[in-house]
Amino acid sequence: MGSLTGKRAIVTGAGSGIGRASARRFAEEGAKVVAVDVNAEGLAETLGMITKAGGTAMAVTADVGDEDAVAGFVAACVREYGGLEVIYANAGISGGAVPLLEQSVEQWQGVLRVNLLGPFLCIKHAAPVMLAAGAGSIICTASVAGLRANAGGTPYSASKAGVISLVQTAANEFFASGVRVNAICPGLIETGITKSTFDRAKSRGTEGKIGQLNPTRRPGQANEIANMALFLASDEASYVNGQAFAVDGGLSSTHPFVPRG
């Protein structure tokens, strides 16, 4: 039996990258999955991968910054699958690399809307279902950029720091309820958000240097984050609550340094 057999799970940002890898991993482990993304084409590809592998999933095209949309896909999960045990609020955007003094209020609002308001809305609408059942796992994607500087732009980093605080405070809000809330802080992972970084390195012939600042000396892959999400979603993590886990090859274990060799 899979570690998520009998569970119902929602994964946002499931049209690509970490969300796609996580939706597929959850389905492989027996969960019925609601895959959510604003990108209908990418979402259809994810759904096809899951069903081809024998998994159970449905796709919902939705914007996680829209409260009615979030309420809608939570209700769809309960209606179609009969409940909800896991939600992975993963959808996010980078917000670009504009210098701090050139950033606009609109840019900040756009990033915060998806990266921080989105997880809040997922918690707000998923938690009542879980609280009524007395159990559930809520997972949010934060970032090492939310832990320390120099891992992302200012609005992105601030939004991810907010996610970490949101997870901590929500875990305590649901005190003694059976509902757990945790965050994953990915390091440099090859996804759509980081594609430009990888493409620039490849064009310069320096792709071998990507990830050189972490002691594992390489970038991460989406499936490596999905494996952490799977653990947090499962009953194996029954005593894990209110935490933010860096999955970054060791990048956040030290201060910046000039690598040897």
Distance (Å, rounded) from C-alpha 183 to C-alpha 241?
9
Distance (Å, rounded) from C-alpha 207 to C-alpha 158?
28
Distance (Å, rounded) from C-alpha 132 to C-alpha 176?
13
Which residue, chain included where needed, has tokens 């305590």?
172
Tell me if residue 239 is catalytic: no
In the DSSP assignment, the letter for residue 251 is: G
Distance (Å, rounded) from C-alpha 128 to C-alpha 173?
12
- Per annotation, catalytic residue among 81, 88, 156, 239: 156
Q: Reading across the β-sheet that carries 86-89, which strands appear in turn?
A: 56-61, 32-37, 8-12, 86-89, 136-141, 179-186, 244-247
52 burial via Cβ count (<10 Å: 0-12, 13-18, 19+)? exposed
Q: Give the SS3 label for residue 15.
A: coil
H helical segments located in the chain: 17-28, 40-52, 67-81, 105-112, 118-133, 154-173, 195-204, 222-233
For 16, 44, 125, 136, 166, the CA distances from 49, given in Å and listed in that order, are 12, 9, 28, 26, 32
Distance (Å, rounded) from C-alpha 146 to C-alpha 112?
13
Looking at the annotation, which residues are catalytic?
Answer: 156
